[in-house]
Chain A
Amino acid sequence: ERVMTQSPATLSVSPGERATLSCRASQSVSSDVAWYQQKPGQPPRLLIYGTSTRATGVPARFSGSGSGTEFTLTISSLQSEDFAVYYCHQFNDWPQTFGQGTKVEIK
Protein backbone atom coordinates (compact mmCIF):
# COMPACT_ATOMS: atom_id res chain seq x y z
CA GLU A 1 0.00 0.00 0.00
CA ARG A 2 1.22 3.46 -0.90
CA VAL A 3 1.10 5.56 2.26
CA MET A 4 0.51 9.28 1.70
CA THR A 5 1.92 11.47 4.47
CA GLN A 6 0.84 15.09 4.63
CA SER A 7 2.62 17.89 6.44
CA PRO A 8 2.07 19.88 8.45
CA ALA A 9 -1.00 18.53 10.24
CA THR A 10 -2.12 22.10 10.92
CA LEU A 11 -1.07 25.27 9.13
CA SER A 12 -1.84 28.66 10.67
CA VAL A 13 -1.91 31.38 8.03
CA SER A 14 -3.11 34.96 7.87
CA PRO A 15 -5.51 36.00 5.08
CA GLY A 16 -3.55 37.13 2.04
CA GLU A 17 -0.52 35.03 2.87
CA ARG A 18 0.81 32.08 0.90
CA ALA A 19 0.19 28.50 2.09
CA THR A 20 2.30 25.53 1.07
CA LEU A 21 1.00 22.03 1.83
CA SER A 22 3.13 18.92 1.33
CA CYS A 23 2.31 15.31 0.56
CA ARG A 24 4.89 12.51 0.44
CA ALA A 25 4.24 9.06 -0.99
CA SER A 26 5.93 5.97 0.45
CA GLN A 27 6.62 4.78 -3.12
CA SER A 28 6.42 6.51 -6.47
CA VAL A 29 2.89 7.33 -7.63
CA SER A 30 4.04 8.98 -10.86
CA SER A 31 1.82 12.03 -11.38
CA ASP A 32 -1.35 10.29 -10.22
CA VAL A 33 -2.20 12.64 -7.37
CA ALA A 34 -5.26 14.75 -6.66
CA TRP A 35 -5.95 17.36 -4.00
CA TYR A 36 -9.29 18.04 -2.31
CA GLN A 37 -10.68 20.70 -0.01
CA GLN A 38 -13.24 19.76 2.63
CA LYS A 39 -15.22 22.01 4.94
CA PRO A 40 -17.28 20.77 7.91
CA GLY A 41 -20.57 19.18 6.88
CA GLN A 42 -19.71 19.28 3.18
CA PRO A 43 -18.38 16.67 0.75
CA PRO A 44 -14.83 17.03 -0.52
CA ARG A 45 -14.24 19.30 -3.49
CA LEU A 46 -11.72 18.38 -6.17
CA LEU A 47 -9.11 21.10 -6.60
CA ILE A 48 -6.27 19.51 -8.55
CA TYR A 49 -5.88 16.25 -10.47
CA GLY A 50 -2.96 14.72 -12.34
CA THR A 51 -0.68 16.61 -9.90
CA SER A 52 -1.13 20.04 -11.49
CA THR A 53 -4.39 20.36 -13.47
CA ARG A 54 -6.97 22.60 -11.82
CA ALA A 55 -10.48 21.23 -11.78
CA THR A 56 -13.30 23.20 -13.38
CA GLY A 57 -14.09 26.40 -11.51
CA VAL A 58 -11.09 26.27 -9.18
CA PRO A 59 -9.44 29.67 -8.75
CA ALA A 60 -5.97 30.23 -10.16
CA ARG A 61 -4.57 30.88 -6.68
CA PHE A 62 -4.55 27.08 -6.22
CA SER A 63 -1.67 25.26 -7.88
CA GLY A 64 -0.16 21.80 -7.64
CA SER A 65 3.30 20.48 -8.41
CA GLY A 66 5.58 17.50 -7.92
CA SER A 67 6.11 13.99 -9.20
CA GLY A 68 7.19 10.59 -7.98
CA THR A 69 6.99 10.83 -4.20
CA GLU A 70 6.88 14.55 -3.39
CA PHE A 71 3.87 16.74 -4.08
CA THR A 72 2.86 20.27 -3.13
CA LEU A 73 -0.37 22.23 -3.08
CA THR A 74 0.16 25.99 -3.00
CA ILE A 75 -2.47 28.61 -2.25
CA SER A 76 -0.90 31.87 -3.37
CA SER A 77 -3.01 34.30 -1.34
CA LEU A 78 -5.37 32.81 1.20
CA GLN A 79 -8.96 34.01 1.13
CA SER A 80 -11.44 33.58 3.97
CA GLU A 81 -13.20 30.75 2.12
CA ASP A 82 -9.96 28.76 1.86
CA PHE A 83 -9.76 27.85 5.54
CA ALA A 84 -10.56 24.13 5.48
CA VAL A 85 -8.97 20.67 5.54
CA TYR A 86 -6.98 19.60 2.48
CA TYR A 87 -6.29 16.01 1.42
CA CYS A 88 -3.97 14.49 -1.15
CA HIS A 89 -5.04 11.27 -2.90
CA GLN A 90 -3.06 8.79 -4.98
CA PHE A 91 -4.79 6.78 -7.69
CA ASN A 92 -1.66 5.19 -9.15
CA ASP A 93 -1.97 1.84 -7.43
CA TRP A 94 -4.41 -0.28 -5.44
CA PRO A 95 -5.62 0.32 -2.89
CA GLN A 96 -6.02 4.02 -3.57
CA THR A 97 -5.10 6.04 -0.51
CA PHE A 98 -5.58 9.48 0.98
CA GLY A 99 -3.25 11.49 3.15
CA GLN A 100 -4.38 12.18 6.69
CA GLY A 101 -5.18 15.81 5.87
CA THR A 102 -3.80 19.28 6.59
CA LYS A 103 -6.02 21.74 8.39
CA VAL A 104 -5.50 25.32 7.25
CA GLU A 105 -6.62 27.66 10.01
CA ILE A 106 -6.72 31.39 10.51
CA LYS A 107 -3.66 32.79 12.29
Chain B
Amino acid sequence: EVLLLESGGGLVQPGASLRLSCVVSGFSFRSYAMSWVRLAPGKGLEWVSAISATSISTYYADSVMGRFTISRDNPRYTLYLQMNSLRAEDTAVYYCAKSAVTGYFYGLDVWGQGTSVTVSS
Protein backbone atom coordinates (compact mmCIF):
# COMPACT_ATOMS: atom_id res chain seq x y z
CA GLU B 1 0.00 0.00 0.00
CA VAL B 2 1.26 3.46 -0.90
CA LEU B 3 1.34 5.74 2.13
CA LEU B 4 2.44 9.32 2.75
CA LEU B 5 2.62 10.64 6.31
CA GLU B 6 3.24 14.31 7.00
CA SER B 7 4.48 15.73 10.29
CA GLY B 8 6.02 18.88 11.70
CA GLY B 9 3.06 21.24 11.70
CA GLY B 10 2.06 23.36 14.66
CA LEU B 11 1.32 26.83 16.03
CA VAL B 12 4.06 29.39 15.49
CA GLN B 13 4.41 33.15 15.63
CA PRO B 14 4.85 35.32 12.54
CA GLY B 15 8.46 35.31 11.39
CA ALA B 16 9.17 31.86 12.79
CA SER B 17 10.34 28.75 10.95
CA LEU B 18 9.02 25.20 10.64
CA ARG B 19 10.19 22.12 8.81
CA LEU B 20 7.57 19.75 7.50
CA SER B 21 8.41 16.12 6.76
CA CYS B 22 6.63 13.54 4.65
CA VAL B 23 7.65 9.93 5.10
CA VAL B 24 6.54 7.65 2.29
CA SER B 25 6.26 3.91 1.80
CA GLY B 26 4.93 1.39 -0.68
CA PHE B 27 6.56 2.73 -3.87
CA SER B 28 9.96 3.55 -5.33
CA PHE B 29 10.32 7.04 -3.90
CA ARG B 30 13.44 7.85 -5.92
CA SER B 31 11.50 7.43 -9.18
CA TYR B 32 8.78 10.03 -8.62
CA ALA B 33 8.54 13.79 -8.48
CA MET B 34 6.83 15.04 -5.34
CA SER B 35 4.84 18.14 -4.44
CA TRP B 36 3.47 20.14 -1.53
CA VAL B 37 -0.04 21.57 -1.77
CA ARG B 38 -1.89 23.55 0.90
CA LEU B 39 -5.48 24.27 1.85
CA ALA B 40 -6.06 27.46 3.82
CA PRO B 41 -9.22 27.86 5.94
CA GLY B 42 -12.14 28.81 3.72
CA LYS B 43 -10.00 28.77 0.59
CA GLY B 44 -9.20 26.40 -2.26
CA LEU B 45 -6.20 24.24 -2.93
CA GLU B 46 -2.93 26.08 -3.59
CA TRP B 47 0.07 24.41 -5.20
CA VAL B 48 3.18 25.31 -3.14
CA SER B 49 6.26 23.53 -4.43
CA ALA B 50 7.57 20.54 -6.37
CA ILE B 51 10.83 18.64 -6.67
CA SER B 52 12.07 16.24 -9.30
CA ALA B 53 12.90 12.61 -8.52
CA THR B 54 16.65 13.31 -8.32
CA SER B 55 16.34 16.79 -6.71
CA ILE B 56 17.86 18.45 -9.79
CA SER B 57 14.79 20.64 -10.31
CA THR B 58 12.73 22.52 -7.75
CA TYR B 59 9.81 24.88 -8.28
CA TYR B 60 7.84 27.26 -6.06
CA ALA B 61 4.69 29.31 -6.02
CA ASP B 62 5.33 33.05 -6.12
CA SER B 63 3.74 33.36 -2.68
CA VAL B 64 6.47 31.26 -1.03
CA MET B 65 9.48 31.89 -3.30
CA GLY B 66 12.54 32.84 -1.27
CA ARG B 67 10.96 31.73 2.04
CA PHE B 68 10.26 28.01 1.53
CA THR B 69 12.71 25.30 0.43
CA ILE B 70 11.72 21.86 -0.77
CA SER B 71 14.14 18.95 -0.50
CA ARG B 72 14.16 15.18 -0.34
CA ASP B 73 16.26 12.35 1.05
CA ASN B 74 15.71 9.41 -1.25
CA PRO B 75 17.46 6.75 0.88
CA ARG B 76 15.28 7.81 3.82
CA TYR B 77 12.10 7.95 1.71
CA THR B 78 11.40 11.42 3.06
CA LEU B 79 10.28 14.73 1.55
CA TYR B 80 10.79 18.03 3.35
CA LEU B 81 9.50 21.57 3.27
CA GLN B 82 11.54 24.14 5.16
CA MET B 83 9.37 27.17 5.84
CA ASN B 84 11.01 30.40 7.00
CA SER B 85 9.65 33.88 7.70
CA LEU B 86 6.18 32.49 8.18
CA ARG B 87 3.20 34.78 7.73
CA ALA B 88 -0.42 34.60 8.83
CA GLU B 89 -1.39 33.83 5.24
CA ASP B 90 0.69 30.63 5.38
CA THR B 91 -1.85 29.18 7.82
CA ALA B 92 -3.16 26.03 6.14
CA VAL B 93 -3.19 22.27 6.06
CA TYR B 94 -0.13 21.17 4.10
CA TYR B 95 -0.30 18.00 2.01
CA CYS B 96 2.49 16.10 0.36
CA ALA B 97 1.56 14.35 -2.85
CA LYS B 98 3.13 11.97 -5.34
CA SER B 99 3.25 12.43 -9.10
CA ALA B 100 1.11 9.91 -10.96
CA VAL B 101 3.81 9.12 -13.51
CA THR B 102 7.45 8.20 -13.00
CA GLY B 103 9.97 10.78 -14.09
CA TYR B 104 7.48 13.54 -14.79
CA PHE B 105 5.67 16.31 -12.97
CA TYR B 106 2.08 15.19 -13.51
CA GLY B 107 -1.24 14.84 -11.78
CA LEU B 108 -0.98 13.92 -8.11
CA ASP B 109 -2.31 10.44 -7.47
CA VAL B 110 -1.54 9.80 -3.80
CA TRP B 111 -1.83 12.33 -0.99
CA GLY B 112 -1.01 12.32 2.68
CA GLN B 113 -3.57 13.21 5.34
CA GLY B 114 -1.97 16.62 5.84
CA THR B 115 -0.32 18.52 8.68
CA SER B 116 -1.77 21.74 10.05
CA VAL B 117 0.28 24.93 10.26
CA THR B 118 -1.07 27.95 12.14
CA VAL B 119 0.81 31.23 12.12
CA SER B 120 -0.52 33.58 14.77
CA SER B 121 0.70 35.85 17.53
Contacts and interface: CB of A to CB of B under 8 A. Distances in A.
Interface of A: 1, 32, 34, 36, 38, 43-46, 48-50, 55-56, 85, 87, 89, 91, 94-101
A20 B47 CA distance: 24
A61 to B, nearest CB: 19
Contacts of B112: 43
A95 B45 contact: no
Given A44-B95, A100-B44, A55 B109 contact: yes
B78 to A, nearest CB: 18
B44 A50 contact: no
Contacts of A89: 45, 47, 107-108
A-B pairs with lowest CB-CB distance, top 4: A49-B107, A34-B107, A43-B111, A101-B44
Pick from A32, A49, A85, A96 the residue with the most CB of B within 10 Å.
A96
B113 A43 contact: yes
B107 A46 contact: yes
Interface string B59-101: 1111000000000000000000000000000000001010010
Contacts of A32: 106
